[in-house]
Structures are given as C-alpha cells and as structure tokens.
Structure 1
C-alpha cells in the first residue's frame, strides 16, 4: 500500500510540467468560471440567477450615466430569450466601442472624475455579459455618429463602419443568454419588475420603460417600503430621511423578524455588508439615546422593516456580483461607514422623533411589546435551545453540506466558494424514503437535507412560543440558523420537497405557514421554493423522457410513438437515487414562492389555514373538476 502511494506521488510530480500551466484569455476564463463573475447560473427560478445578473450588469451602466447627470430615461425590453437595454446618456466613445465590451479591465470607471460614485469599478460587467451570450450587439450614438459591433460568445463577428445618424445620444445593448450555459432558462416577470422598481426607487426622477410599461418613483425609499409593506400591518407611518449620500426609510410591523433592503450606489446588496451593519447598530443607539432607556437591541429591531441606501466613492464589494459591501469608509480620508451612518441617524432620526411624538409613542409601544414577548419566551427558549444543542451533536434530521451561506471563506478558493454560497440549498422532505433518495444523490458540497417526521403542526394563529416547544420546528429553525434574523441564514435556497399528492400538498402548506407566520422575511427575500419532481417516466428502448404534467406526458407518448412504457411516480421515495440525481442537479426545476405587493399575509393564512371558512368552502365547490375531464382537455390541446 505504501509503495503504491509513493508511485502515485511520483507520477503526479512528473506530470506537473510547463505544459500543465495554461493562460486563459478573458472570454475563456469567464466561460470556464462564470460563477466568479455572475454568481450562480440557475434557470431563472431565483432572483439572483445569472440571467438577471446579466441584465443588471448592462443596466448598471445606464444608471451610472443617469447618476452623472446624463439621460433621464432607460428603455428595457425582455422577451423569452432576448434582452434589449437603451439609455440616453453620453454613449460609449466610438473608437472604444469594441474594447469596452471585449477587453478586460477597460472602461471609464477607472477615471474617478468620469464616474464619481458608480456601481461597477473593475471593468468586467459587460464583458461577462458578452462572453456568456450566444448573441451580443452594442450600439453607441454620439453627436450624430453611430458605431455598432456584434459578437457571439465573446467573439467579434462583425464590426460595422461608423455612420451618420439622427438618433439621440446613448448606448443600446442587445443580448441573448447562451442556452448552453443557462440551461432551460426562463424570465419570471415578478423578478424583472422587482429589479426595475429597485432602480427607480434608488434614482428618483428616472423613468424606465419596461416592456411598454412606465416605471417612475418620486419618493425613493419611501415608495420602496410602501410597496414592500401593508398599511394594515404598520405600527406607525414610514419614517423617511434623506441626507448627502444617504437615504433611509424605517417602520415597524406586527410580524416577527427583521426585514432590510440595503443598497450601495444603486446596487441592491442582498447580503448586506458594512453599511447595513452600521445602520442596525446606529438605529439601536439612537433609539436608546432618545428614550433614555437601555432597551435590548433585539427588542428595538424586532418587527422592523427598513431600507438604507448610501453612495460611496470606490466601493469595495466582496465579489463581482456586488451583493455584499466591504468598504469601511465613505470616501478616501472620510469617516468610517459606522461613524457616517451613526452621525446621520443620531441627528435626523432623533429630530424626527422629537417633532413627531405620536410616531415616537407608537415606536416605544412596539419595542416594549417585543420586550414582554421576549421575556415570556425566555424560559421555554432556554430549554428548547439546550435540547436543540444536544440534538445538533447528532441531528438525525439534518444531513448537512460543506459550504454555507453565512460563512466567510479565505485562501485561494475564496472567490469560487463565495460564488458557490449562492447555490447552497436545504431540501425539506417528508419521510425516510424520500430523504434517503435525495441524500444519496445530492451534491454534498452545497446541498443539505432536513427530514420531517410526518405532517408538521398547523402554526397559524399560534405565538412564537410554539417554535421552541415543538421539537421539529425548533430543530428546523436551528438548522437554518434564523433565530436572530436572516444575517445568519446558512442556506440561500430553502426547497420544500414533498410528494405531488394531496398529503404532500398539505405538508407544503403547513411548512409555508410556518415560514410566513414566524419568518416571513425568508419568503419576502426570495429564499423559499417548491421542488418540482416528475410525475411520469415515458420510455422505450432508445429514449427516456421525464414528464412533469399530463400535457408533457401526452407529448412524450406522441414523440416516442408506438406503446412506450409509462410509469407514474406516486411519491418521491419511488424515484431511485440514480434518477433523483438528475432532478436536483443543474436541471433542477423549482418554483419560487412569490408574494405580490397587495398580499396581506395574515388574511392569506386565515383563508387557507384557518378554520373551515365559508369563503374557502365556496371556492372548492365552485372549482371542483374531475381528473378525467382534465385529461381529456389536455389530450385535445396536444392534438
């Protein structure tokens, strides 16, 4: 055995030669390691999937032009597989049109005079879009002259001659994401609309025309919080404060948890960073100083919903996707982020509360209510956490993965691990058979499995005390690490994986009720999904097709011809681990749980999970359909 190891090492040493060292050009490197540039790839079912990052990278340049005072309108059109973005800024200098989108570390963002507080600083964004698009076209118009260049997967295919034009100044980019990189991708309208609204909220006065609809915000973060909250749930009117290079909006609701929306130079920092940490600390200190009471920080922030936007010179983000700010100062030689935010809140929030005693009183009541609830929970919480700690030493319910969302990585693998954090997923399954199949076929680096014992408790209308008294809920909370808010969340994606039958649907509802009742920010921030697994397997000796609906089954039968073998999967446990690996890999189908802005969570839960309401009875009666009728309709449509 020892001799074999020595031989293997000797062979490895001998094979490591000059020929082992490769130098990749910019395009090859982006295509080989796309995660380093755009985070996870995905199919569009998550708001942070690559196809949305491509749109963001192009739009960011338009926003930077607007921020510098050039162009008050951006036109965006997104079809099934094509994206077009047009701004009315200065336009790329015509002699550099090709270089700006195809030469790494080329751009105006290095000249701080041209772009004082822009989002992109490293000259990578549009190059990544170019390299990862099957078709990419850039057009620039400056003072009556136009230049166009076309690419395929980063390779220049046609550079048009400069021509005269009557078009307005600005840049137009058209691209189609490469379907060999983004497999089976689709754009979800709600994610696109949310992305567009964020640009408008952060750039009051900017008009974005998106697929023929106009988007405009006049009140910035005030409009954002009004869109994200429900009037009936607010404890007091939204506090909206603006200063030089900073804007905040704050309110408290009735729900559990803390909910934040943070931005830097117009970039949505979904993982927060130094500015969000500074805000959370500064808010606590300002409130304590105002009320002259040493309230617990968790009581002050419980049920808060807030947004913060800062503008920073030379921001340092922790990855190319710019989801977490690392900058410690606002500008070179200026105050630390912590001092800057504290100085702003201690003056402006304190002034606001003095001028608005009704708001100050409502905030005080909300804080003291949280204090009472925390003290009532203290005893049961301590016992539950001790029990969970013991269980975690050998938690049979959790099969964990190696990489976690809340961990900081260093060393030579830092960039890759930071990108892979976005892929971290926990599957919540029912029963041992389903859990076993997923556990055996999962990616142990980024995929974890939590197994439910059976149907969990219906938590609608219950207090948070039940989270600690119910062992299963408590272990799930600890597995996710969300007891103290989203900052410690261990997995980016929480996927409910239940059978596609009546019992499975019921378990889905019970799990979603648990999240919406006690951790609604998980859903609001796009972390919760439903796993789609095939209902049928249709195959002959040459081909196997997995089908997710009756319609797909009919098409598969028609395609294969003859009399193919049809298997109906009644539960996840019937799918072998080898087969399951196909459904939770890069082609995994997941449906995001999306809450529209007009949804009232408590009313929604009451309708579906409350006692047998008259409205729900009437809906069921009026919408009953026989399976035979559904199948006949599908067969007719396939014909």
Structure 2
C-alpha cells in the first residue's frame, strides 16, 4: 500500500519579510521598559521604575561632580514632577537634543573624560525621556542657554540658543507617564535614602532636596552613624579608606547581616562581586588575626558594613545597575576579589593591632554568636525534621508556581506571600489569587509576642518555624521564595495587634527582610458605596464622602470589618493590578531594638503619653477633617469610637 501524503497545514502565522520590524529607540523603550528600568511598579517598592528614572538623571550630575565640576545639586520632587539642576559644565549646546533622544549617544564612551562613571551605556536619560509625559532638558554654557521639550520621546519644542546670565549646568524636568506607571506615587523616605547615599559617597557634595540640605563630610562613616544607634554598638565604627575603595564596619545586636554596597556611586542593592569579596575578606582576616578557625556565620552574625569601590568601565548584570558583575577593577587592573581581599587583610589587621579594645570587643561578639549557635543546634535539628514532615502536607501554605530567584521569569518580581488570619480570610484570598505568583499562609489566631526572646523560639514555635520554612529565610534572605511578604489582617483592633506581632517577629529575627523592602501591609477597602448603576470601593473616610457625593442621595453603604466579609470575586479586584500595598519602612534614625522596645515592650510612660495625646473621637475626625457636622450623614454620627491616629 502506497504511503499517503497528508497535506501540510498552513502556518498559523506567516513568517516572511513583512514579519521583520525595526523599532526606533522611543518605541523600543516604551514597548520593553523593563529592559531599561527594571520593574514598573507604583512606587511602593524602593526599586520601582519611577525611582530609577530619578536616579538616571541624578547620576549624570554626580558624574560631573566626580570629574570636578559642580559641588551643588538641586532636586525638587512633587507628586508628579521631578526637577534636577546641577552646576557642572552643561551639555554641549549643539548636542542637547541628541544626548536625550539618540540611543547610545553620550560623553562617557571616552574613558579619558569619564574614567569611573556609573552610566556608560548611553541609555539613561533617553529612557527617562521616552517614559515621560513631559520632559525638558536645558543646558547653560558660557552665557548661552539651549533647551528642548519632549512628550513620550517625541520632540515638541526646539528653540534656538539664547543669551543668559545663569551659571553653567544642566536642568532636567520630567513627569512620568501615568499610562505606564499606573497610580504611581513618590514615597519621601525612598527619595531621601537615595539622596543621602549620593552624599555619603561624595563627601563635600551638597544636595538640596525639596528645600533641605544634605551634606556628608565623613563618607561611609556618616552612613553607618545614620543607620545605627551608636550607643548600642559593640565597638566604635571602623572606617578605612584607600585609593578606589572605602569601607565602614561594626557589629550590633540584631540578628542577620546588614550591608550597603556601592560601585562608582551606584547603590548595588543586589550586591555582586565586590560585596561577596568583602564578606569573604572579613572572615579570612578575622581568622588569621585571631589564629582561630571561627565559623563564617559567627563572624558575620550581626555585622553592619558598607563598602564602596571605584571600577574602571564596570560591568553590571542589568541596565538598572543593581548588581556588579565585573571581575576586574579595570582592563589592566587586579581582580575585584583580589583587590578587596588584599586591602581588608592589610588595613583591618593593622587597625585591630592598633585598637586592642575594639579587638577584644569583636572577639567577644564572635564568641557570643558561637555559643548561641551551638545552644540552638539541638532545637534546630528537631524543628527542621518536624517542618520537613509538615511541608509534605502543609495546610497552612497554599503555594504558587513561580518563586523569587528560582525562575528567570518576567513575573518573579510579583511573587507574593499573603499572611492572613483565620480560615475565612485565607479562603477569600486563596480563591481570588493568581496561582502563578501568589501564595497564602494562614495563621491560627494571634502569634506569639516574641519581643526579647532568643532565636530558638522560632524553632520551638511550630507556626513560626513553618513560616520561616515557607519563606526559606532560615539561613538568610538570599534564597527568599517570595519577593513580597504581605501582611493581610482585618481593619480592627485584633487585626492591628496581629500585624504588630508579625512585624515584631520579622524585626526581631529577620530584620534584613524589612530593611530590603520585602514586607508590606495590604490595604483593603473599608467601605463599599453603591447604587443600582455604580459601585465604588473606599479605603478611608474621605474617599467614602467623595463617593457619597458622586452617587447622589441614599446610596447603599457597607462597612467591611473583616477580610472574610469580602467575597472572593470582590477580593480579586483588590489584589490584582490595582493592589494597594503600604511598604514597611524602617526609620534610619531609630534602631530595631528601640522601635521594638517602644511598641512591644512594657507599657512605658512615653508610650502612654503618646496614646493619650493622640486619642481622637471618630465624631471629631468627621467634623474636623471631612465635612461640617450638619452635612455629615447620619450613619457617621453613631456612638463614637476611639481611634488612635
């Protein structure tokens, strides 16, 4: 029987010359913004795109300062607009338009001009331009001024140069495109942290941010002074400087490691070769200095350190420059690892010889960590065995398919663990979540108040042990399984208490999780206001009043007191694209132990006074903040509840 030839099915999509497209620079940036600025986000995370846009503009000003031009930068940021002015040399007037609108165009390819610059790819300000509704660039050089205005990368105004009496320098103004950065907002704490880091890394540089002046005279020493409570440190901060390297180091009393690493003035939040070398160098130097084979974990326990290096033509692992990939200090220079190992070995060893009190205090801190680790070993082993069995049938965890760091996937930044109270709330979230990226961990009532307890309680308490295994943070946050840890509790007193107890757990034993911006509070609507045609969800009293005015007389008003009262269909709207997350941000001026002692310690007079001074009646809140009393709806004037604000 002859073989039958089946007809070939026509291709679903023809692949021919017409399939090949060439995008211009503006189209490509807008189509793939993640390639240029990382994740988009709404500003609730420190590495969201709107902060990268700010950084790209300021980086150019910093490079001018490093080259010796301009000691002052002025930054003004409102809800929607960013304005940055430096007093460097100014962009050459004939290239003002090209520098912000032609990809791979810039002055940093000439290594003689910008030997150790952070922006080397000629992309930064072009990305800002393409991703902004409005973008202005203005350069002043030697009595002449040239400006150009753009909208989403397209040139709108290009007037000829004019005469001016202003000082040399560059001004850039932009408004992020709200069709790309939806519902975005700038969080002042994130911006202030950016500004401070620029100053710490460039001693003598003054940055005026929204009317306040930031200036550092002692570099990384000032950074650690700002980040720590010096009175609680085990020994004074060690500050060492050399050519192309600066570091600061001390030990505190908190669990975990706290590191700040920089390359050419860029805050490398994900570390890289320089941070790995610094951590390795600390262990090797301490072992050799004391002549003891201390465990690396004991040496680095509770360490607080900062390192900054200058690398010629650095190689980063992404355009956002959050992780250094360079192996060498320069084309003809030593390796990054070898350079840092040699520097730390020589200078830290010398410092410890010259400062015997610091040497003894460091030794005691290491040996204390060693005792604690050995004391916990038995408890830890048993707890891990129980957790391993429980993980096979862990009813507390409804896991997702993607995990942070395990999959090189576009959506791994969205991986989220919701920590909920009770079955009803976890049931609503579980039914409405995205099973690819969102997991749910259900608590059984109120967790233990672990303030002041030793870390072995994490292993002795079954719920805490299962939670740390779900997050995979037992040995640190390097293997964290979810990028966002979201506390989702009811909007009542019990819910607030559970929220505080969970934050105490994280701050007490895993402060790195909070410091690195992984912990959030889920905001869910307090009210649903609707009529037959429209439904509006409101997150506070002010939004409720606005919804009442919008919908007219006698709308139906529902007050959500618990997450379990919100149906799964409704919940899906609140944890999807329009999710509202409030980041948990540590105040740099206060240590973790100060915060925990104030809020979770014994009822101190200071806390009592704060509560009494800030008690206000809900009736007073309505009449003073929202509406005149005669306009307030009747349902708002029911029996007054006490609220702490």
- Work out whether the TM-score is over 0.5: yes
Q: Which residue of 2 aligns with 1:561?
A: 552
Shift of 1:635: 4.2
Is structure 2 residue 419 aligned with structure 1 residue 428?
yes
Contact 1:39–1:420 (8 Å) recurs in 2: no
After superposition, give the CA deviation of every residue in 1:454-490 in whole Å (9 maximum; x if it has no partner). 2111101110010111111112112222222232223
After superposition, give the CA deviation of every residue in 1:550-585 in whole Å (9 maximum; x if it has no partner). 221111001110222212212112222332222222
After superposition, give the CA deviation of every residue in 1:346-382 in whole Å (9 maximum; x if it has no partner). 0010010011010010000000000000000001111
- Aligned equivalent of 1:571, options 562, 579, 582: 562
Query: Structure 1: which 5+ runs fail to align?
Result: 1-5, 410-416
Is structure 2 residue 217 aligned with structure 1 residue 226?
no
Shift of 1:593: 1.7
Shift of 1:216: 0.6
Contact 2:264–2:311 (8 Å) recurs in 1: yes
Range moving further from structure 2, 435-444 or 424-433:
435-444
Matched positions, count: 625
After superposition, give the CA deviation of every residue in 1:488-540 in whole Å (9 maximum; x if it has no partner). 22333221111111111111000001011111222223222111100111112
Q: Which residue of 1 aligns with 2:449?
A: 458
After superposition, give the CA deviation of every residue in 1:188-223 in whole Å (9 maximum; x if it has no partner). 211111110000001111111111111110110000
Q: How far apart in 1 are the matches of 2:167 and 2:175?
A: 24
Contact 1:40–1:420 (8 Å) recurs in 2: no
Sort the Cα spacing of 1:540 and 1:304 in 2 relative to 1 into closer, same or farther, 3 A: same
Q: Which residue of 1 aligns with 2:635?
A: none
- Aligned equivalent of 2:488, options 490, 497, 511: 497
Q: Which residue of 2 aligns with 1:151?
A: 150
Contact 2:228–2:590 (8 Å) recurs in 1: no
After superposition, give the CA deviation of every residue in 1:67-111 in whole Å (9 maximum; x if it has no partner). 112111111111121111111112112111111111111112222
Range moving further from structure 2, 463-472 or 367-376:
463-472
Q: Which residue of 1 aligns with 2:397?
A: 398
After superposition, give the CA deviation of every residue in 1:237-292 in whole Å (9 maximum; x if it has no partner). 00000111111100000111101001111111111111111111111000000000
Partner of 1:295: helix, strand, or coil? coil
Sort the Cα spacing of 1:86 and 1:445 in 2 relative to 1 into closer, same or farther, 3 A: farther
Shift of 1:623: 4.0
Alignment of 1:203-218 (within 5 A): 203-218=202-217
Partner of 1:172: helix, strand, or coil? strand
Range moving further from structure 2, 340-349 or 591-600:
591-600
Partner of 1:176: helix, strand, or coil? strand
After superposition, give the CA deviation of every residue in 1:303-334 in whole Å (9 maximum; x if it has no partner). 00000111111211111111111111111132
Q: Which residue of 2 aligns with 1:414?
A: none
Q: How far apart in 1 are the matches of 2:403 and 2:313?
A: 29
Is structure 2 residue 332 aligned with structure 1 residue 309?
no
Range moving further from structure 2, 613-622 or 113-122:
613-622
Sort the Cα spacing of 1:91 and 1:152 in 2 relative to 1 into closer, same or farther, 3 A: same
Q: Which residue of 2 aligns with 1:479?
A: 470
Q: Which residue of 2 aligns with 1:352?
A: 351
Q: How far apart in 2 are the matches of 1:14 and 1:125?
A: 36
Q: Which residue of 1 aligns with 2:523?
A: 532
Range moving further from structure 2, 328-337 or 78-87:
328-337
Q: Which residue of 2 aligns with 1:40?
A: 39
Contact 2:42–2:185 (8 Å) recurs in 1: yes
Sort the Cα spacing of 1:407 and 1:280 in 2 relative to 1 into closer, same or farther, 3 A: farther
Contact 1:137–1:175 (8 Å) recurs in 2: yes
Q: How far apart in 2 are the matches of 1:256 and 1:180?
A: 42
Sort the Cα spacing of 1:16 and 1:503 in 2 relative to 1 into closer, same or farther, 3 A: farther
Q: How far apart in 1 are the matches of 2:425 and 2:21?
A: 43
Q: Which residue of 2 aligns with 1:264?
A: 263
Sort the Cα spacing of 1:424 and 1:383 in 2 relative to 1 into closer, same or farther, 3 A: same
Alignment of 1:117-516 (within 5 A): 117-407=116-406, 409=408, 417=409, 420-516=411-507
Contact 1:39–1:422 (8 Å) recurs in 2: no
Query: Structure 2: which 5+ runs fail to align?
Result: 1-5, 632-645
Contact 2:141–2:168 (8 Å) recurs in 1: yes
Contact 1:75–1:208 (8 Å) recurs in 2: yes
Q: How far apart in 2 are the matches of 1:69 and 1:384?
A: 58
Contact 1:140–1:172 (8 Å) recurs in 2: yes
Q: How far apart in 1 are the matches of 2:266 and 2:349?
A: 28
Sort the Cα spacing of 1:130 and 1:403 in 2 relative to 1 into closer, same or farther, 3 A: farther
Partner of 2:557: helix, strand, or coil? strand
Shift of 1:619: 4.2
Contact 1:148–1:160 (8 Å) recurs in 2: yes
CA root-mean-square deviation: 2.0
Sort the Cα spacing of 1:536 and 1:340 in 2 relative to 1 into closer, same or farther, 3 A: same
Partner of 2:186: helix, strand, or coil? coil
Alignment of 1:611-622 (within 5 A): 611-622=602-613
Q: Which residue of 2 aligns with 1:609?
A: 600
Q: How far apart in 2 are the matches of 1:25 and 1:578?
A: 42
Partner of 1:458: helix, strand, or coil? coil
Q: Which residue of 2 aligns with 1:115?
A: 114
Shift of 1:437: 2.4
Shift of 1:453: 2.1
Contact 1:480–1:489 (8 Å) recurs in 2: yes
Sort the Cα spacing of 1:207 and 1:635 in 2 relative to 1 into closer, same or farther, 3 A: closer
